[in-house]
Every structure is written in C-alpha cells, then in structure tokens.
Homo-oligomer: A and B are copies of this chain.
Amino acid sequence: MTGNIIGERFVVVSFGESHGVCVGVLIDGCPPGIEVSEEDVQVELDRRRPGQSIVATTRAEEDRVQILSGVFEGYTTGAPILMLVWNKDVDSRPYEKIVKTPRPGHADYPARVRYRGFNDYRGGGRFSGRITAGFVMAGAVAKKLLGKIGVEILAYSHEIAGIKCPQLGVEQIRDGRYSNEVRCPDPETAEKMKKAILEARRSGDSVGGVVECMALNLPVGVGEPVFSSIDSDLSRALFSIPAVKAVEFGKGFESCRLRGSENNDQFIMQGGRVRTATNNSGGVLGGLSTGMPLVVRVGFKPASSIAKEQRTIDLSTMTETSIVVPGRHDPCVVPRAVPVVEAVVAFVLADHVLRAGLIY
C-alpha cells in the first residue's frame, strides 16, 4: 500500500494540501450502524482549528466539515466515508520563495528531491500541520466506534518548553484538558506553559513539548504481534503527525534505567479482575494490551517556522544564503496537537478493535 493509507480494517486515507482546494480524509471499513453526524466531527475539529488562541497561528479557517459519502440517515452505512473541509484563508504568495530556498526544519528540501519539483509547496503542501484536520475527522468517527465498547481516549499537554505537568488523576485530565488554551489540565502549570509560549513568540522563536495520551477500558489482548503490535501500530501513526520526534510507552526511556525488579508490573486481583500493581508498561506487554490504561507519550519538536533569519541554500545556484520564514505559524504546536494525538490513537485502536473481532 502507498503512504497515505493506514489501517487494515478501519482504513484511513489522508488527502489534501495546505493551500489546495481542501483537506480531508476517507475511511474505509467502518462498520455500518455507527451514529455519526457532521456535528460530532465538528466538535473534534473545532479543537484543532487555527485562529482561536493567542498561542497559535492567526490563519482563520472556519473548517466546517462536510460528509460526502458513507453516512445515510445519521448512521454509517459500511461504505467509504469521505469527509473534508474547504481551504479558505489561503495566502500563498509568501511561499514562492521557499521553492528555491528550503526552510530549515521543514520538509521543503527532501520533498523537492522526492517529488522532483512537482509537489505543491504552498504552505508546506502535504507536509503542513493542516493535513491533521483529516486525522481529527477520522478520529471523531473512530471515537464513536470505540465508544460502543466503552474505550475512551484522553490526551493533554504533559510538557511544554520544559515545564512538566504534575501527575494527575483521570477525572482531572478528562475534565480539564480542553479548559485552557495550552490544553494542560493543571491550571497552574497551564499558566506557566502559556507564558513560555508567548515569550518564545515575542522573541520570534518557538518551543516544543510532550503530549501524553491514555486509552481507558481497552480490553485485554488487543494487538497483532509481532509487526502490528499495538505499540508498533500506534507509534507508526504517531510519527506521521508533523513535528513528532519521539514516542514512548509507560515509563519509556525512564524504564531503561530501572532494574527488572523495579520495572516489572506485578499481577494482582482487583475487583475480581486481573490487574497490575503498577503500570510501568503503559498497558502493553508483548505488543498486546494488558487491560490496564494504555499510556503513550509523544514528543514534539519546537515549531520549525520561526521569525529569525536562518541559513539555507539557494537551490537554483547551489549557493548558501539565508531566509526569514514567511507565513503565519504556531509558536508551539503542542496545544493544537492534543486533539490530533487523541484522534490518531483513536483510529489506530478502532482498527485493532475490529481486527480483534471485538466489534463487528
């Protein structure tokens, strides 16, 4: 299969360009009988919409989703679901210069080589964060599907600009994650994060961070080892989000410094069910879900578009030059990435729940 398609039984196909006609997604394999409306999708989409906050880009897109196929009388039909938003607030003029002078940290240069100069470079084209609007649409349907068996996905800003969120309870995360602009459920931490972002913006710079996501109530034994292990497939999809540079499950890199006796999650009985006393594994053993909360952390680099002058190459002459990156951008992608991570985790789990025969 080609690169814009993911999943086996809940298949997600991404399309659209940042400054093209539209961005969207096609889902094939969604079972019939799932109640889905444009409003359901819009709720999720509004969470990643630009132009809402002082910590994000000023590009003002209404981003009204249209469902063009696969839903009939309010329910999925089993046919392919095509959803898109039209691009409206497009200003492509500033991008003409990036054709020749690739922006540091962006895909301009390797994309030009790969697509032999035919790629739509405007606004980053297929490499823009804007394509994640399609991910969110797919995630909205996936969440509805997962809801059938009680699976819930919760993400939040775990760390921004080195400022870490303290350990929180599930209820606090659920209730608080969309209560502020930086999507951190702890108000005090959120305030610090916001300051750090604004400070970076003021200096024409950007900051990165970490989104943590958990999936609750996932049944035991979901995943298809060895190559479609639940962690394998999640990481693949998460690295498809622009700016992601690191993925870890449970204690992740920290567990590499523990001893086995500290890191192993010992089995206990709790409420008549097999549980583990700790959850260092992040709910994954041998690539299968354990029944404990699935916990994944996703590291985002600082946004590549900054207002500072940077060194680059003039590809027409193959000589060194410099660039000040044009366009309107996020000083920190983490807050808007929160609903994107939720969506991506949702569509991967939807696929695996179908593969495991837990829903049909």
Residue in B closest to A20 when the chains form the complex, CB atoms: B69
Is the CB–CB distance between A237 and B232 below 8 Å?
A: yes
Within 8 A of B (CB), among A276-294: 276-277, 281-282, 285-291
Copies of this subunit? 4
Contacts of A32 in B (CB 8 A): 115-119
A8, A229, A260, most chain B CB atoms within 10 A? A260
Size bin of chain A's contact surface: 35 or more
Within 8 A of B (CB), among A229-244: 229, 231-233, 235-240, 242, 244
Is the CB–CB distance between A266 and B310 below 8 Å?
A: yes
Is the CB–CB distance between B78 and A119 below 8 Å?
A: yes
Residue in B closest to A259 when the chains form the complex, CB atoms: B205
Among the stretches A53-61, A185-193, A207-215, the one at the interface with B is A207-215
Within 8 A of B (CB), among A103-133: 104-107, 109-111, 113-120, 125-127, 131
Is the CB–CB distance between A75 and B118 below 8 Å?
A: yes
Instruction: Given contact pairs A104-B276, A113-B221, enumerate 7 new A-B contacts (beta carbons under 8 Å).
Output: A2-B29, A2-B228, A13-B13, A15-B69, A110-B221, A114-B221, A251-B301
Listed by A's residue number, 14 A-B pairs whose Cβ atoms lie within 8 Å are A3-B229, A6-B227, A17-B77, A24-B82, A225-B240, A227-B236, A235-B247, A239-B287, A245-B249, A246-B247, A263-B302, A267-B311, A268-B311, A277-B311
With known contacts A206-B260, A247-B247, A299-B255, A287–B107 Cβ distance under 8 A: yes
A98 → chain B closest CB, angstroms: 12
Which residues of A does B touch, CB under 8 Å?
1-6, 8-9, 11-17, 20-22, 24, 26, 28-29, 32-33, 68-70, 72, 75-80, 82, 84, 102, 104-107, 109-111, 113-120, 125-127, 131, 159, 161-162, 200, 205-210, 220-229, 231-233, 235-240, 242, 244-253, 255-269, 272, 274, 276-277, 281-282, 285-291, 299-306, 308, 310-313, 315, 318-320, 356-357, 360
A262 to B306, CA, bound (A): 11
A270 → chain B closest CB, angstroms: 10
